[in-house]
Amino acid sequence: MNKKELRNKYLSYRKSLSKKEIFKKSYKIFFQLKKLSIWDKKYYHIFLPIQEHNEINTFIIINFLLKRKKYVTIPYSNFHLLSIENCSFDKNTILEENQYGILEPKKKHIISTNLIEVIFIPLLIFDLKGYRIGYGKGFYDRFLMLCNKNILKIGLSFFNPVKKIHFLHKNDLTLDIGITGKKSFFFKNSIKKYF
C-alpha cells in the first residue's frame, strides 16, 4: 500500500471513531506518555487537535504540562509558504479557528525553535521504523529542519503501527518514539532512558 492509500485508509478509520472513543483513546495515549521519563525538560511543542479530523485530544497533555510549569508552544501555520511558526501558549492564550478548522493563537508570540526540547508530532499512522504519514503537506518535515538536532520527536497514534511505509522521500522524518494507547515504540534514534 502506498502513502496515499495508507493516508486515505487511516483518515477513514479515524473518521469512524465516535467522540466518546476519541476521548477514551486520547486518555490511554496520555497514560502511556506519562510512563516516559520526558517530563524534566523545559520547552515542549505540541499540535492542537483538529476536531473535524478526529485528532487526539492534546489538551489533556497541554494541561498536564502547564500544571508542571512547563513552557508550551504550539504551531501557527502559514499555508502560503507551507511552514509553521512556533508560538507560546498558556492558560491566557486566546485561540481562534482558521479557515481550515485549525485552532491557532489570536495573537502570535513567536518563540525560537532552538528552545524546543520535545515535540509532539501529528500523524495518521507510523511504521515499525518510525516513519510517519501525516496529511502530506510536509509542514513538520520542514519545521524540524529549523529545530535542534537532538530534539525528541514523539508521534501520537490511535492505531497500532503498520509494518512498513513504502515509497519514502529523502526528507521524510523519523520519530524517536511512537505512542499508541497500548504501547510505546522506541526507534533507533531514541534513547532508552525514556522507558
186 Cα distance to chain centroid: 16
pTM, two decimal places? 0.92
76 Cα distance to chain centroid: 14
Structurally, how many domains does the chain consist of?
Answer: 1
Mean pLDDT of 12-17: 95
Q: Identify the CATH number of the domain in which residue 171 sits.
A: 3.40.50.10420
Confidence check: pLDDT of 194 > 70? no
Confidence check: pLDDT of 195 > 50? no
Yes or no: say if 152 and 119 are a contact pair by the CB < 8 Å rule.
Answer: yes
Yes or no: say if 143 and 83 are a contact pair by the CB < 8 Å rule.
Answer: yes
Exposed, middle or buried: residue 27 (CB in 10 Å: 0-12, 13-18, 19+)? Answer: middle
CA distance 78 to 91: 24
Domain enclosing residue 121, as ranges? 3-194
Other C-beta atoms lying within 10 Å of the C-beta of residue 47: 22
* From 63-67, 85-89, 135-139, 191-195, the region with the lowest mean pLDDT: 191-195
Confidence check: pLDDT of 190 > 60? no
